[in-house]
Amino acid sequence: MSRLLFFLLLVANMAFGAHLWLSAQPGERDFSRRERNGNEVTIVAVIPPLVAARQAEQERKQVQSLTGAACVEFAGIAAASLPQAREAFAAMQLGDRLMERRVEEITRHWVYVPAARDRRTAEQSAATLRGRGITEISIRPDFAISLGVFSTEEAARRFLAQVEAKGAKGVTIGPFSKEVRDSVFLVREPDTDLLARLALLQREHPASTLRAVACPAANGAATASAAPAKP
């Protein structure tokens, strides 16, 4: 009886071992069931370990240097990358701690007579200018009178001196058109975690800069630049 019991136990152990061995074979496994959106996974880049370590150290030092800053400024983002940068900042959910301002550059200047109250007054001023030998003029939709547009302020001032020498009154110069040279993001009271996120974001914009700056006045001194003067 004991021999029969021993034999049955031996057969049972062998059968169980065979089951475990068969279930462990690679051909019997189906890992595809474990995948989630496997066809959407894309390897963007592989950074060598030394490069990754160097970048991490640079970011650590940068965060350390900015820790405690009341405000930091993120600037130098390429125009084509601005939508991507705005999405990244929006994801940080900074609320009123985040401000964006445009840095504009005057690209053209004009010599003009400021807008009159109506077209009749503008036409009278234009007739007076023509009577003084200033003929290349045009009345703008807002009843300002344009005498000329120039690529530099110096050229505009030289022409202003010429028309004033002819007796023109009430003529001045001003910006005719502006272009946005840069968009600057300013973050108030960043903590260490936020600074680390900004340092990572900077990696996506190689020409950008991240630095500590004085915080603007609370009355909105860092709002967007004023619109260009109406030509």
Report the alpha-carbon distance of residue 63 to residue 57 in Å, rounded: 10
Cα–Cα nearest to 231, from 117, 135, 115, 119: 115
Q: Which two tokens stand for residue 100?
A: 């964006």
- Residue 10: predicted pLDDT: 52
Whole-model pTM?
0.49
- Residue 220: predicted pLDDT: 46
Q: Which two tokens stand for residue 148?
A: 């000329």
Go through the chain and tell me how many residues it has.
Answer: 231
- Residue 36: predicted pLDDT: 56
Cα–Cα nearest to 229, from 155, 182, 180, 177: 177
Cα–Cα nearest to 174, from 112, 104, 223: 112
- Residue 222: predicted pLDDT: 39
Cα–Cα nearest to 226, from 188, 191, 192, 178: 178
- Residue 200: predicted pLDDT: 86
Q: Which two tokens stand for residue 43?
A: 């390897």
- Residue 230: predicted pLDDT: 42
Give pLDDT tens digits along the chain (231 positions).
Answer: 444 444 445 545 555 555 555 555 554 455 455 555 555 555 555 566 766 667 677 777 778 778 888 899 998 888 888 899 999 999 999 998 999 888 888 889 999 999 999 999 999 999 999 999 998 899 999 999 999 999 999 999 999 999 999 999 999 999 998 877 788 899 999 998 899 888 888 888 888 888 888 888 765 443 443 334 344
**Residue in the structure block whose two tokens are 């894309």:** 42
At residue 37, what are phi and psi to the nearest 5 degrees?
55, 45
- Residue 229: predicted pLDDT: 39
**In this structure, how many other beta carbons lie within 10 angstroms of the beta carbon of residue 96?**
6
Report the alpha-carbon distance of residue 139 to residue 129 in Å, rounded: 12
